[in-house]
């Protein structure tokens, strides 16, 4: 942030958990309060917890869904009404959606879900 401000820009930090809808709402609202609008939103949070499907624990499964999927979903919900006109959303996925590795099942499924949400939201 210091480099941005030193070069004439404006920046500030907000802590939040993408898996919590209330935090996503707050992230949008505080950004709009500070800058007046949100022009670009980047969903880049992600976690890759590798295990065979039969071995992935419930807590690992929930964490993957929470961070990789819910965060994007909640962000799209907020962006639908709070993103500036002609604003952009960038949802990051993974090339893993096109590979079949035995321990990438849940991770690749969450990223495939992000890709499908992105296509539907774009329409």
Ordered by where they begin, the domains of the chain are 2-122 (3.40.50.720)
Catalytic residue among 64, 93, 104, 108: 93
- What pLDDT score was predicted for residue 100? 87
**DSSP-assigned states of every residue in 43-87:** E---------GGG--HHHHHHHIIIIIIHHHHHHHHHHHHEEEEE
* Residue 82 designated active-site: no
Catalytic residue among 70, 74, 104, 111: 111
* pLDDT averaged over 10-residue windows placed end to end, the chain, 123 residues: 90 94 97 96 94 96 96 96 95 90 94 96 92
Catalytic residue among 94, 104, 108, 118: 94
Q: What is the pTM of this model?
A: 0.88
* Residue 107 designated active-site: yes
């Amino acid at each position: 942030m210091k480099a941005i401000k030193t070069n004439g820009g404006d920046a500030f930090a907000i802590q939040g958990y993408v898996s919590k809808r209330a935090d996503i709402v707050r992230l949008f609202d505080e950004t709009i309060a500070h800058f007046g609008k949100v022009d670009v939103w980047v969903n880049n949070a992600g976690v890759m917890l590798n295990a065979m499907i039969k071995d992935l624990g419930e807590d690992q499964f929930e964490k993957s869904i929470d961070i990789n999927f819910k965060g994007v979903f909640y962000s799209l919900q907020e962006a639908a009404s709070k993103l500036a006109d002609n604003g952009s959303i960038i949802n990051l996925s993974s090339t893993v959606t096109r590979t079949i590795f035995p321990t990438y099942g849940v991770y690749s499924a969450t990223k495939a879900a992000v890709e499908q949400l992105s296509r539907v939201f774009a329409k």
